[in-house]
Homo-oligomer: A and B are copies of this chain.
Amino acid sequence: MVEESSRKRKLEDQEESESKKKRKYDGFERTTTLEELRRAQVDFANARDWNQYHTPRNLLCALVGEVGELSEIFQWKGEVAPGCPKFSHKEKSHLGEELSDVLLYLVRLADQCHVDLATAVKDKLKKNAMKYPAEKVFGSSKKYDEYKKSN
């Protein structure tokens, strides 16, 4: 009896901590830079003599492969709500890995193309802000669509 109730308490604690883990999502870790990821991959490829395989089109094919694996996670799910509340812990962790694989190949592709992705992405953010002025596209899916179409 004692064992039973202690086991039950343990399970409840676990569930609570699980749910806390889910509740506490608060954005990304603060310090990770794109340059840090680029540098890590340069070191990784150098240590293995793999630069020879990392030509732009090889990396593009690898990137498309990883996007495919990311897409497979969502393939029989129907609509998925923000936060993926119905994903198991395992699925969520798998999702994190596939998102990471796409990111790593994207960073490596930019680097092997000699594109400064950090500068490029900040330029793009500025361009988007000018392209979609908040007051003109606010809350309107129609305007959103039209704006997007003229992309």
- Name A's B-contacting residues (CB within 8 A): 22, 25, 27-35, 37-40, 44, 47-58, 60-72, 74-84, 92, 95-97, 99-104, 106, 109-125, 127-129, 132, 134, 137-139, 141, 144-145, 148
Q: For residue A74, which residues in chain B have a CB less than 8 angstroms away from its CB?
A: 56-57, 60-61
The distance in angstroms between the C-alpha atoms of A27 and B111, with both chains bound, is: 7
A-B contacts, 28 listed (Cβ < 8 Å): A25-B114, A27-B35, A32-B34, A32-B122, A33-B33, A37-B121, A47-B138, A55-B80, A56-B80, A57-B80, A58-B75, A60-B70, A62-B75, A63-B67, A64-B68, A65-B71, A76-B144, A78-B79, A79-B79, A83-B112, A96-B117, A97-B120, A99-B117, A101-B124, A104-B121, A104-B125, A104-B128, A106-B106
Instruction: Kindly state the separation between the CA atoms of A7 and B106 in the bound complex, as whole angstroms.
Output: 41
- In the bound complex, residues from chain B placing their C-beta under 8 Å from that of A134 are 47-48
Q: Which B residues are CB-close (under 8 A) to A70?
A: 60, 63
Q: Which residues of B are found within 8 Å of A119, using beta-carbon distances?
A: 28-29, 32
Q: Looking at the assembled complex, report how far the CB atom of A73 sits from the nearest CB atom of chain B, in whole angstroms.
A: 8
